[in-house]
Chain A
Amino acid sequence: MDTTFIESFKSYQKTGNFWLDLNPLTKLSICSAFAMSALFMMDWRYGIPLSILCCIVVALAGKFKEFFQIYGKLSIILIVFIMIVRQLGTRPENVTPLINVFGWQWYTESFKAAWDTASFILGFSGAFLVYFITTPMRDLMYTLEQKGVSHETSYIMLAAMQNIVDLRKAATTILDSQKSRGIETEGNIIVRAKAFFPTLGPLLLSAFTGSEEKLIAMDARAFSVKGNHTFLRELEPITPKENILIFLAWAIALATLLSKIIPAVMRAVTK
């Protein structure tokens, strides 16, 4: 009998990819540091390279397609919107004309301000998105439990995600069945709003009553036992090498913060 699958649970879970195998908390620390650095810099010259770096890291981890589906959409909508919003209306600081779009004068100052804000949001979002695309939630919850977080918290996060998937499927089914019962879902906004309640109602009530059964089922699986719980899948604890990476990431974040604070302090002092 081939026992490789069963044996694989006796050692730490690895995928072979450097980024993916990092401890979830390491990755969280690194991504948070870079996200914060985007916030501190608020500059397109930092934000855009950071976004590109995020894409590279994700590509190396082999998750580029899922990442870009979300990130690409987010970027385009964000950039277009902010660009347009910033150029609307008369602003006192706009003096340098940039280009003329069908008779609408665009200014350099607003253009730069738009890119500063947009790139901060893109850098911030990119860093966190990289994290969530490359880290399964159950791995994150596992590491948090190792740190002492209660398993109830793990339950909340993981059950919530599972419930979202389950209720989503049920919602489309219930909407269709209500349509077949004659509930109007097309028409003006009032008609559509009225269709909201008969769709949501049965869905939620069945979810509520189902939670009672889940409670009993979890109890039967020793959910409320006071002792330590065991795990099927175990991850390697944080190694010294990973600590170095975390330190470097936060050093960069601190450097970006200081690069903004120190000039401001110097300006205030030399006034």
Chain B
Amino acid sequence: MSQDNKSEKGKFKLERIALFLIPIGIAINFIGGQIAILLKLPLYLDAIGTIVVGALCGFVPGIIVGLVSNILNAISSPVTLFYAPLNIAFGIVAAYLSQRYWFKSVWKTLLSSLIFAFIGGGIGSLITWVVYGFDFGTGVSAMFSIPLHEKLGLPKYFAQFLAEFTMDIFDKVLTVLASFGILHAVPTRFLAKLPLGHIYIKDSDKALEAEASDFDD
């Protein structure tokens, strides 16, 4: 099932099963946002798919999910195109951390939310800064960034960064927790077919040990 599939131009190799997981990852990004709206949560929750697919399939699928989600979002709000680097970064970081077994423990997963929030808030606020003409952007963060700038006298960009980072933390904590839950709920027979799935198979190390001791008998 996991045959390599060279595209006609031979540009990149994509595992077949990863190819079919990508549209689902993209849809998950959209659904996360919709459920947040249905539950009236003031969060985006639009990176769950990127992180899960990045964690299960690696760098390239994670990047594709992030990029295509961004493009599809741009259909109804073209300014989002400028934020493409963010989504790509989420995919890359998710794959990177997954390979280092970060998503196997709840605490490390929560720690990763800081990294994601830094990317989302930090690079995000940088992009907002440039797009909106080196001034505060629209959106909820303006409610915090402007008082921070006025009352505490913080430099404009720093106020924007702080506001966006703080807001993004809440979003990303829920995002990584949801991703953690999903990663550990995927059935083993499906994990076995995914490039990075072996990381999340429960007790895989113990199973190998038991097998080894069986041979010893």
Partner-B contacts on A (CB < 8 A): 35, 42, 70, 74, 77-78, 81-82, 85-86, 88-90, 113, 116-117, 121, 124-125, 127-129, 132, 148, 150, 152-153, 155-157, 159-164, 166-168, 171-172, 175, 185, 189, 192-193, 195-197, 199-201, 203-205, 207-209, 211-212, 214-215, 218, 224
Contacts and interface: CB of A to CB of B under 8 A. Distances in A.
B45 to A, nearest CB: 8
B76 interface: yes
Question: Which one of B9, B27, B52, B74 has the greatest number of beta carbons of chain A within 10 Å?
Answer: B27
A167 B28 contact: yes
A150 B41 contact: no
Nearest to B19: A152
A119 to B, nearest CB: 11
Given A196-B41, A207-B24, A125 B79 contact: yes
A116 B31 contact: no
A90 B153 CA distance: 12
Contact of A167 (B17, B31, B76, B77): B31
Nearest to B191: A208
B126 interface: no
Interface residues of B, number: 63
A115 B167 CA distance: 27
A163 B27 contact: yes
A201 B48 CA distance: 12
Given A81-B139, A81-B142, A117-B135, 15 more contacts: A85-B136, A124-B78, A150-B8, A160-B22, A160-B26, A164-B72, A168-B31, A196-B45, A196-B174, A200-B178, A208-B186, A209-B190, A211-B17, A215-B1, A215-B20
A129 B138 contact: no
B30 interface: yes
A48 B77 CA distance: 17
25 contacts: A42-B133, A74-B76, A77-B138, A82-B132, A85-B136, A117-B135, A121-B79, A150-B8, A152-B7, A156-B68, A163-B23, A164-B30, A171-B31, A171-B35, A193-B39, A193-B174, A199-B35, A199-B39, A204-B52, A205-B182, A205-B185, A205-B187, A212-B20, A214-B20, A215-B1
A215 B16 contact: yes
A148 B64 contact: no
Instruction: For the complex of A and B, list the 5 residue pairs with the smallest distance between their C-beta atoms, beginning with the closest.
Output: A163-B27, A159-B23, A81-B138, A160-B26, A128-B78
A190 B147 CA distance: 27
Given A125-B79, A171-B38, A196-B39, A164 B5 contact: no
Question: Which one of A78, A132, A148, A214 has the greatest number of beta carbons of chain B within 10 Å?
Answer: A132
Given A113-B133, A117-B133, A209-B190, A148 B26 contact: no
B36 interface: yes
B31 A164 contact: yes
A86 B8 CA distance: 50
A92 to B, nearest CB: 12
Nearest to A35: B78
B40 interface: yes
Contacts, number: 165
A83 B195 CA distance: 49
B54 interface: no
Interface string B98-130: 000000000000000000000000000000000
Nearest to B52: A204
A224 B16 CA distance: 9
B108 to A, nearest CB: 19
Contact of A148 (B8, B22, B27, B149): B8
Interface string B11-22: 000101101111
A124 B79 contact: yes
A179 to B, nearest CB: 11
A157 B49 CA distance: 15
A212 B135 contact: no
A211 B26 CA distance: 13
A242 to B, nearest CB: 23
Contacts of B152: none
B174 A150 contact: no
A211 B24 contact: yes
A197 B23 contact: no
B81 to A, nearest CB: 8
B75 interface: yes
